[in-house]
Structure 1
Amino acid sequence: MTAPFSPTDPPAADERVPFYGERFQRDATAMYAQMRRDHGPVVPILLDGDLPAWLVLGYREVHQVTEDSELFARDTRRWNQWEEVPDDWPLMPYVVHNPSVMFTEGGEHRRRAGAIGDALSDVDQFDLQRSCEQIADRLVDEFAGSGQAELISQFAQRIPIAAVAGMFGMPESETPDLVRDVALSLDVGPEAMPAYARVQEAMARLVERKRAEPGMDVPSVLLEHPAGLSDDEIVLDLLVVTAAAQQPTANWIGNTLRLMLTDPRFEMTLTGGRASVGQALNEVLWHDTPTQNFIGRFAARDTRLGGRRIRAGDLLVLGLAAANADPNGSLGPDVDLQGNRAHMSFGHGEHGCPYPAPEVAEVIARSTVEVLLDRLPDTELAVPAESLAWRPSVWMRGLESLPVRFTPAYVSGR
C-alpha cells in the first residue's frame, strides 16, 4: 500500500498505477476508492504499454476539466507521447485523430456540434418512442414463447442501433452488419480498426443516397443545415453519433434490467406496482454508468489540477464513474437520487453529449425496458445474481450476459 496522498512533482516512477488488468475487472469501484485515498483526485496512471497519463477521479476536477475546453483540449494530436505509441497499440481507436466533431475545437466544434444537436432536435420523440416499442415488441416475440432468454445479445444489444438506423433512414437489411461492426469498433482488439472502416463505408453510402433522395431523417437534415457541412464531415459525424448511441445505450438498457431484476425495490407487488423504470435508469447512471472512463483531454499548456502539475500535452482520462461516486461531489451519503441528474455520465461542457442526445438515449432505453416488463412481467434471473459477469473493460460497463426465465407468452402480433 502506498503512503497517504502527498503529491510529488513529477510523480515517482512507482507511484503510477497500471490502469489495466484484472483488478479493475473484479471491483473497479473499490479500486477507484483506494486510488482516491492514496493519490487524491488526480492519479498518475499507466495505460496499456505503460504509457503515462492522468486519471481524473474527483467530481470537481472532472467538472473543471470538461468546463475549460481551451486549457483541456480535445485534439489528440496535442498528446506528448505520440513518439512512444506503437502502431498496434490496443487503445489506438480512442486516440487516432480524424476530422470528426469528436476532435474539433473552438468555433469549428460549435459549428459541427450545433448541426448535430439541430438534427437530433428534429427527431420526433413520440415517433421515436413508438418505433422503439415496435422494435422491442418484435425482439420479445422472438423469445416470448420459449420461457427463457439472454437479454444482452437477444435484446439490449439489438435495440439502439435499430433505433439509430430508423432515425438515419437506413434500410433494415443493413442493420445486422452495422450492429456487429459498431460493437467491434468500440472494443479493444485487432478487429476494431477494420470494423470502424466498414462502418465508415456504410455511412458514406447512406449520405450518398440521402444526397440523391432526401427524407425526414438525421442525414438529410445535416445535408441541408446552414452550417454547410461537407459530405465527408457528415459521414464522420454520423459515425460519432452511431458509436455514442449504440454501446452506451445498450449497456444502459442491460444494466437497468439487471438492477430491476436484482433489487427488491423493483419487484412486482401484489397490486401490480413496482419502483419506476425512470428511477432505475437514473440510478444506473450514478452507480453503473455505461461509460466508466473516457479518453480524454490534452493539456494545452502547463497547469495544475487537483494538486498535481500537469504538463502541456499530457493526456487526462475522465473518470466519469469515479467522479459520480466521489463523496466530495454531488453524491454525498445522504443524497436522494430521485430526480438528481447531476452525474457526469453524459460528460459536461462543450464536448459533452450535445442536447438533445441524452433525451433521445433515454427515450430508447425507457421505452424498450417498459415493453419487456409489460410483456413479460414475471421475468426473473435464471442464474444467481452474484454469478453475473461484467465485460472485462475499464472503459465501458456492461454485462457479458443476462439469462432470464419467465412464463411463456404468446407473440404480441403488434
Structure 2
Amino acid sequence: MYRELRQRHGTVVPVVLVGDVPAWLVVGYRELHRLLSDPVLFSRDSDLWSQWPYIADDWPMLPMIGRKQPSILYTVGEAHTRRGAMVSDALDAVDRIELRGIVEYYADRLIDGFCGQGEAELIANFASSLPILVLARLFGFPDAECPALAEALHDMIDGGADAIAGQQHLLGSMRRLVAARRVQPTADVATRMLAGARGFSDEELVQDLMVMSAAGHQPTADWIGNTLRLMLTDDRFAASFFGGRNSVGDAMNQVLWEDAPSQIIAGRWASKDTRLGDRHILAGDLLLLGIQGANDDPQVRVDPHAGGPGLPGSPGSPGSNNAFFSFSHGEHRCPFPAMEIAEVIARTGIEVILDRLPDLDLSVPPEALQRRPSPWLRGMTTLPVRFTPTPTHGGHR
C-alpha cells in the first residue's frame, strides 16, 4: 500500500480520516525526518488545527488526535524538556534486573493458563495481556484492575465506537492512582513522578500516565505479536524454536523496520505555510507521521526484491541498524528509558515462550492470519498456535 501511495502521490500524501477530515500522510524518510526535526514549523500544538470548527465532540478519532490536553504530548520547548526529564527519571529508576523478573513472572503465569492444552491463541492470551500487567505493576496498579485497563486502551487506540468510553475509563483510573499515591507513596512510577513533578499539577501527571500507558502497552503487545508471527512464518528464524535465542533480537529489529507496531501517529500541525515533499502545506494543516511508510522508503533502505541504493544495514542488506522511525524522532521521540522497558518486556516475553513451548507452530495457514483494523497501530487480531502440552510452572521460574 505504501509503495502504491508513493508512486501515485509522492512522499506527502493527501488523505481523509473518518468523517472526510483532510490530512497529509508523510511517507518519505527524508520528509519525515525534516518534519520531526523542526518542532517550531511542525508543531505538536493541536490548537493550530484549521479543522476544529468541523470536528464533532463524538468523533471517534478524537482520543488519539485530540484537542490540546495538559499532557507531555502537547507541550513544546522548555516545558516539554522539563516534563520529559520528569518522565524519564521516573522510568529510569526501574531496576532492569527486577523488571526482567517481573516480566518472567507474568509471562509464566499467562503461559500456565494454556500450556497443558496443546493449543492457544497468543494475542488475547499472551501478547495483549503481558505489557499492561507489567506496566500496571510498575505504575502502581493492583493486578485486579489490569483487564479493564487493557480493554479500555484497546478501545481508545482502535478508534471505533467505544474509543471515547475507553479514554474516559483510563482517565478515571489514572486519577484514582495519582490521588492514592499522593496520600500513600510507594516504590512505583506514579510516586516518583509526584516526587519529581517540578511544578506540574496532579492532572498533568494523570495525563502523562495516560500517554505512557497508551504508548507503552499496545505498541509493545503488537511488537510481541508481530515478532512471533515473523518467527513462525519465516524460515530464517525457525532455529529459534529449537532452543536458540540468537535470532530473537534480529526478528524484533526486523519487525521495527518492516512491520512497525506504530504505523501512523497523529500528528503535527503546520504553524505557517510551507512546502514539504513538493506539496504546499497550509498553516493549520494536520500532518500524520507515516512511520512504516518512511521505513519502507526505497531511497533509504534496500529493497531485496527491487534493488536500490538503500541504507547500509537496513532490511535486505547484511547486518542491521536502528535508523527506523518506529520510536519516532526529535523532541517528542519515545524517551530512552521507555524504549528500554518496552524492549525488556517484548524480548523477555518472547524468550519465555520459546523456553516453555519450544515446538510452537501455527495452527492455521499464514495467509489466514488477519490484522486488527486500527488506523494507528499494526497488530495481529489472532495468532493461533499448537505445541506439545507442557506442565505449569506455578508462576515461578
Aligned counterparts of 1:184 and 1:384: Cα–Cα separation in 2: 28
**1:273 Cα deviation from its structure 2 partner:** 3.4
Which residue in the other structure is 1:52 paired with?
A: 22
Q: What's the offset of the Cα at 1:226?
A: 5.6
- Structure 2: gaps (5+ residues): none
2:49–2:285 contact (8 Å) kept in structure 1: yes
- Residues in 1 aligned to 2:150 and 2:374: alpha-carbon distance in whole angstroms: 19
Q: 1:80 to 1:193 in 2, by over 3 A?
A: same
For residues 148 and 197 of structure 2, the distance between their equivalents in structure 1, rounded to whole angstroms, comes to 32
The answer to whether the 8 A contact 2:118-2:387 is kept is yes
Find the counterpart in structure 2 of residue 94 from structure 1. 64
Counterpart of 1:386 in structure 2 is 367
Q: CA deviation at 1:115?
A: 0.7
Partner of 1:24: none
8 Å Cα contact 1:43/1:57 also seen in 2: yes
- Deviation of 1:239 (Å): 0.5
Residue 266 of structure 1 contacts residue 274 of structure 1 at CA under 8 Å; is this kept in 2?
A: no
Letter in 2 for 1:382: S
Secondary structure of 2:6's aligned partner = helix
C-alpha separation in 1, matches of 2:356 and 2:191: 35
Q: In the alignment, which residue of structure 2 is the partner of 1:148?
A: 119
Structure 1 residue matching 2:124: 3-state secondary structure: coil
Residues 225/402 of structure 1: CA separation in 2 closer, same or farther (3 Å cut):
same
Q: Match for 2:108 among 105, 127, 137? A: 137
Q: Distance in 2 between matches of 1:331 and 1:72?
A: 29
Which range moved further: 147-156 or 299-308?
Answer: 299-308
| 2:146 alignment partner in structure 1 | 175
Match of residue 235 from structure 1: 206
Task: State how many pairs are aligned.
Answer: 384
Displacement of 1:266 in angstroms is 1.4
Deviation at 1:330, TM superposition (A): 4.6
Q: Tell me the CA shift for residue 331 of structure 1.
A: 4.9
Indicate conservation of the 8 Å contact 1:75/1:298, yes or no.
yes
Q: Is the 8 A contact 1:292 1:395 kept in 2?
A: yes
8 Å Cα contact 1:57/1:322 also seen in 2: yes
SS at match of 1:69: coil
**TM-score after normalising by structure 1:** 0.90
Contact 1:267/1:274 (8 A) holds in 2 = no
Aligned 8 A contact 1:388 1:402 in 2: yes
Cα distance between partner residues in 2 of 1:168 and 1:49: 36
2:216–2:342 CA contact under 8 A, matched in 1: yes
Using the TM superposition, give the Cα deviation of residue 271 of structure 1 relative to its aligned residue in structure 2, in angstroms.
7.4
Picking from 313, 324, 329, the partner of 1:336 is 313
Q: Once the 2 structures are TM-superposed, how far is the Cα of residue 185 of structure 1 from its aligned partner?
A: 1.6
Per the TM alignment, residue 101 of structure 1 is displaced from its structure 2 partner at its CA by: 0.8
Please give the alpha-carbon distance, in whole angstroms, between the structure 1 residues aligned to 2:242 and 2:4. 44
Cross-structure match for 2:235: 264
Structure 2 distance, partners of 1:178, 1:40, is 39
Contact 2:116 2:390 in 1 (8 A): yes
Residue among 95, 98, 110 paired with 1:127: 98
The partner residue of 2:34 within 64, 68, 71 is 64
The superposition leaves residues 257-307 of structure 1 with CA deviations (integer Å, 9 ceiling, x where unpaired) of 001111111113797436521111110000110011111100011111111
- The aligned residue for residue 196 of structure 2 is 225
After superposition, the CA RMSD in angstroms is 1.6
- Helix, strand or coil for the counterpart of 1:309? strand
Alignment of 1:275-314 (within 5 A): 275-314=246-285
In structure 2, how many angstroms separate the alpha carbons of the residues matched to 1:270 and 1:360?
24
| Partners of 1:59 and 1:330 within 8 A in 2 | no
Q: Please report how far the alpha carbon of residue 88 of structure 1 lies from its aligned counterpart in structure 2 after TM superposition.
A: 2.9
- State the percentage of identical aligned residues: 50
Matched, 1:116 2:97: no
Q: List per-residue Cα deviations over 1:137-195 (Å, max 9, x = no partner).
A: 00011100000000000000000101101111211111121111111121212211112
- Give the one of 352, 355, 358 matched to 1:371: 352
The one-letter code sitting in structure 2 at the alignment partner of 1:364 is I
Secondary structure of the structure 2 residue equivalent to 1:46: strand
Moved more, 273-282 or 175-184: 273-282
Gaps of 5+ in 1: 1-30
> Match of 1:186?
157
Residues of 1 paired with 2:173 and 2:189: CA distance? 15
Counterpart selection for 1:79 from 45, 49, 66? 49
Matching residue of 1:39: 9
- Which deviates more, 385-394 or 397-406? 385-394
Alpha-carbon deviations, 1:41-71, whole Å to 9, x = none? 1112222222221111100110110111111
Residue type of the alignment partner of 1:213: Q
Aligned 8 A contact 2:242 2:358 in 1: no
1:5 counterpart residue number: none
Residue 104 of structure 1 and its aligned partner are, at CA, apart by 1.4
Residues of 1 paired with 2:225 and 2:231: CA distance? 10
